[in-house]
Structure 1
């Protein structure tokens, strides 16, 4: 399957992300009580099997947070937090000295859920406004187990490996 996008399409997606992330950074700054800058992530187009491989790689070294998108169209977002991210966020937002670890306590997990909710909510709102669509982000969850296995049900069957 040929996956490609034009430079214009890539620029449009990056601009949507820029606006949404700027709004998320402003909201997140209230929690952190500091100035927050969020970088626009790289944009990669992947076939279903490659998505599952990438998710498995990330989940082995990060804490995942999942948010579902519902409404006129459905989807799922995943945010992955490294041990270093968790340590820094715990220090800045919770005033907690935590080791660099993927083991999170209840308070840290709640923080990651809230951060994901802010960022995903800002991006979904921006997308809904631009597309004039009725979509919203469902409350985030901290999935356990093999996320790629859970995601297989969301991907087109003909592209998934058994």
Structure 2
């Protein structure tokens, strides 16, 4: 399946990406933001909706496309209540009752998604030395099953494997949780794993060579 080296590398990428995201959000909100160590999982794409509470659970979704040396999709899934709370924090205003998000609330969540997505992609690119870029984000609010099928409806295919980085904000964003999915296209998966594995070995060897 996946080696310990690959899993260690994914954890390191997750940690760096989450740290970058926390720093960027701290600057955006002018307040201290801290996070728990992200939980890293590799799951079949068919199990993605179950990992966020089931296909009928209402969630906000932010989608971005990765291009460059590898191609794939980024999907950030935010539970309904957390999404409502996030808009109040981001806009510093109590939201009106109702399920629908205003254009301003959508814009705020898209900005947050862009910050988080860019932070993780930058960490991945720096670690693997792959050239990567992401598209402008898009937003949807629907049942998890529909949200997760969105990339499939756009491109007609999607990778079979999802890398899940569960991130929980412990200070500044009051325990809000984001489910961050990196779903490489099938043809890019092996290239990504090879880049991760090679650079993990190099990182370990450099660390050993530096010991006294």
* Shared fold (TM-score, shorter chain, > 0.5): yes
* 1:86 to 2:90 alignment: no
Q: What is the deviation of 1:33?
A: 1.7
Equivalent residue, structure 2, for 1:120: 117
* 1:104 to 2:108 alignment: no
Relative to the length of structure 1, the TM-score reads 0.79
Q: What does residue range 17-56 of structure 1 map to in structure 2 within 5 Å?
A: 17-51=14-48, 54=51
Contact 2:68 2:131 (C-alpha < 8 Å) held by counterparts: yes
Give CA deviations for 1:26-51 in whole Å, capped at 9, x if unaligned. 11112222111233432222223223
Give CA deviations for 1:84-114 in whole Å, capped at 9, x if unaligned. 3233322322111026864211111111111
Equivalent residue, structure 1, for 2:197: none
Contact 1:25 1:38 (C-alpha < 8 Å) held by counterparts: yes
Equivalent residue, structure 2, for 1:147: 147
- Which gives a bigger RCO, structure 1 or 2 (Cα 8 Å, sep 6+)? 2
* 1:130 to 2:134 alignment: no
Listed as ranges, the gaps of 5+ residues in structure 1 are: 157-162
Listed as ranges, the gaps of 5+ residues in structure 2 are: 161-212
Contact 1:58 1:80 (C-alpha < 8 Å) held by counterparts: no
SS at 1:57 equivalent: coil
Contact 2:151 2:158 (C-alpha < 8 Å) held by counterparts: yes
- The 3 A distance-change label for structure 1 pair 101 and 69 is farther
**Total equivalences in the alignment:** 153
Q: What is the deviation of 1:121?
A: 0.4
CA distance in 2, matches of 1:33, 1:118: 15
- The 3 A distance-change label for structure 1 pair 9 and 88 is same
Equivalent residue, structure 1, for 2:74: 77
- Tell me the C-alpha RMSD between the 2 structures: 2.5
